[in-house]
Amino acid sequence: MPAEPRILITGAGGILGQRFTPLCNTNTFATYHHQPQNNTSLSENTAVGDLTDERFIGDLIKRVQPDVIVNLAALTNVERCETDAALAQRVNVGIVEKLLTLAPKARFVQISTDYVFDGAKGNYTPSDTPAPISLYGQTKRDAEIMVLQNSNNLVVRTSGTYDWLERHNLFTFFYNRLSTGKETLALAGCHYSPIWADDLAKGLLSLIKTEATGIIHYAGAERQTRYDFAKTIAKAFNFDESLIRPVMQEKFNWRARRPEDSSLDSSLGFAHAQYKPQSSSRTCSQYRKNMKR
């Protein structure tokens, strides 16, 4: 692989892409599904378009001729996947299949999810057998299988990515409600491994540079419920914790089932990357300090 490989990042405008893309070398090309709010970030090494459009994705590969493809594009709305199976298939599986076909010699790095597991035991390692219980989890698992047909490729499973740069994630949901004094329901029964997008971006870049292959778990080191996470935010910002009401999954009128415990054992991932993410309490405190500057 060249010293400065040509990297294609899909989904650069998403929660992870906003943190990951600026870390990459100058030989990087980024794609966005929608025009970024900050138009100054666009350059000759960017494109805006629909990756499910065969003409767009075909022209993209011809233009970039990537050595490495980092696929961050995905439909991550679990409910939307359940109610629109065709869209979930086109985005989470179809895009991956097309990229693999159009650029067979490129090293492929796929971001996957803890939702490939059924949640029966938790603390999952890469050697544990996936058993998705939602359509979202199934489409991500189907994509994994395709990517792993090439032994040079990498699948990185993560869990509960959060950030204050992106509006649509659990951190901003809890922060916005608690900061305005609103009662907040938080899932108490389901455990996961939340990770700050910036830490995930740094870990992902390290894994790519070390040319890791196969399946690697890289998520937060803490096993928490969403209720625990909400309380962490409340403590960090001195919000009223009594506003947080713990509820079980059965109380929500969801069509898609969530794993009861999809927490990941990322110890091998941390060792490969030589970088361990911060705790959620530390990242929240860090954000609060930055707000005061």
Please report the pLDDT score of residue 40 as a whole number: 47
Percent of the chain with pLDDT over 90: 88
pLDDT band at 2; cut points 50, 70, 90: low
On the question of pLDDT at 1 being above 60, the answer is: no
Please report the pLDDT score of residue 188 as a whole number: 95
| Radius of gyration of the chain measured on its C-alpha atoms | 19
Averaged pLDDT, 242-250: 95
Q: What is the pLDDT of residues 34-67, one digit of tens each?
A: 877 654 456 688 999 999 999 999 999 999 999 9
Averaged pLDDT, 248-252: 89
Whether 236 contacts 281, CB under 8 Å = yes
User: In 128-217, which ranges are continuous DSSP H helix?
Assistant: 135-147, 170-179, 197-209
The answer to which of 24-28, 99-103, 277-281 has the lowest mean pLDDT is 24-28
Angle at 189 between CA 245 and CA 249, to 5 degrees: 80
Please report the pLDDT score of residue 286 as a whole number: 87
Whether 173 contacts 233, CB under 8 Å = no
Q: What is the pLDDT of residues 200-239, one digit of tens each?
A: 999 999 999 999 999 999 999 999 999 999 999 999 999 9
Element (H, E) at 110: strand 107-113
- By DSSP bridging, strand 191-192 and strand 224-225 are antiparallel
- Mean pLDDT score of the chain: 94
In the chain, the domains with their CATH numbers are: 7-163+195-221+263-278 (3.40.50.720)
Please report the pLDDT score of residue 150 as a whole number: 97
Q: What is the pLDDT of residues 122-181, one digit of tens each?
A: 999 999 999 999 999 999 999 999 999 999 999 999 999 999 988 789 999 999 999 999
DSSP state of 277: P
φ, ψ of residue 22 in degrees (nearest 5)? -65, -20
Please report the pLDDT score of residue 59 as a whole number: 96
